[in-house]
Amino acid sequence: MEFGLTQEQEQLRDEVRRFAENEIAPVAGEYDREEKYPAEIVEKAAEMGLTGAHFPMEYGGVGYSTLEMALITEELFAVDPGIGLCVTSAGFGAEAIMEYGTEEQKEEYLRPIAEGEAVMGAAISEPHAGSDVSSISTSARKDGDEWVLNGSKMWITNGSVGDYFVVMCETDPDVGDRYTGFSQILVERDRDGFESEKITGKMGIRASDTAELRFDDVRVPEENLVGQRGMGFPQLMQFFDETRTMVAAQAVGIAKGAAERALSYAEEREQFGRSISEFQSIRHKLSEMHTRTEAARQLTYKSAWSVDNAEEDLTMLASMAKEFASDVATDVADEAVQIHGGAGFVDDFDVERLYRDSKITQIYEGTTEIQKNIVARELLDEGR
């Protein structure tokens, strides 16, 4: 069993960390406080090939594997989760196009993201439909050679800055099965009847844009349908195996960043005439923080490897990795604040921001409770 990274993967990890330290770290606090989208940093990331890193080369991407994307995500989030999310989510929803889209859709919608000329999003959640995706009510009806969309979407990443979105819609309401009758449709921002409203006041990841989308008789051509009509739900479930692995990598990055900062602070901070790193209680905290981070990392890497190799248990592994790593992130960030004491309670130190940012990893792409349900379901099905 091989646990090591290749030399190329180690170089990729180091290059991404240098980019994050040089371009993101100096301004992370500013973008967090102002809740401002870092467009210029995303453009620089595109020049490095990071915004379309997992896209096929023929569409402007680099063709990185899921494991390599996990490495990129971990390093960006270790420096700043908010801006890190802006970089890694520039092509959010593109997986549906890569897997099910036509050649024309791939060329038109993937290349601009890889080249830093566009940003996209996946519009799934609604005000009354979060974890229960099958309860969405945004509709798309056929009118001649066009789709007409009506409804709203909530908590959409890149919602007020994205150029186009893959929108989950109900296209066949009369189908009896609650998991069929949904389709994914591409909607461009400049369509008549499309509106977005930025959501502010978030606890964390404030640099990342989040918005509500509204569709009022939005018309798009029939060729904007992604994949087969009525197959949106199973398409989305496959999409989640990869995205949940990436959230696990986000959580590992947050835990890594918090643990690194806690160690550095503990070595520098003195109380009672000596470094607090000499106190057993602090040493035990540091030991557990780094141990649990490494455990989360290995589970996340295995999940990423399983996605790349289409392993049968990848759905369970993705949910295991997300559940465990997100818990580790919140716990390690909490301990990092505790080690900093009062200094960790203000934004002079990064751990305050990491603590706030960590919570979202337990919520988006399926809550912790949903992940436990998925793992239990997979175990019970396996035992029958």
Q: Which amino acids are annotated catalytic? A: 365
- Rounded to whole angstroms, the Cα distance separating 335 from 48 reads 34
Residues counted in the chain? 384
Q: 273 exposed, middle or buried (CB, 10 Å; 0-12, 13-18, 19+)?
A: exposed
Buried b (16+ CB within 10 A) or exposed e, 6-30: eeeeeebbeebbebbeebbeebbbe
- Please answer whether residues 174 and 155 qualify as being in contact, where contact means their C-beta atoms are separated by less than 8 angstroms: no
The DSSP code sequence of 255-290 is HHHHHHHHHHHHHH-EETTEEGGGSHHHHHHHHHHH
DSSP H or E segment with residue 66: helix 66-79
How far apart, in Å, are the Cα atoms of 183 and each of 111, 140, 213, 255? 23, 9, 17, 36
Residue 163: Cβ-neighbour burial (10 angstroms; 0-12, 13-18, 19+):
middle
Contacts of 20-26 with C-beta under 8 Å, sequence gap 24+, read 20/75, 20/76, 20/78, 20/79, 20/80, 20/84, 21/79, 24/76, 24/79, 24/80, 24/83, 24/84, 25/79, 25/80
| Those residues with Cβ within 8 angstroms of residue 295's Cβ, 6 or more apart along the chain or in another chain | 324, 328
Distance, first Cα to last Cα, the chain: 30
Find out whether 185 and 219 touch, Cβ atoms under 8 Å. Answer: no
Taking the C-alpha atoms of residue 169 and residue 140, their distance in angstroms, rounded to an integer, is: 6
The sign of the torsion formed by the CA atoms of 184, 367, 196, 129 equals positive
Provide the token pair at 246.
């990436």
Q: Which of 136, 141, 129, 131 is nearest to 172 (CA)?
A: 141
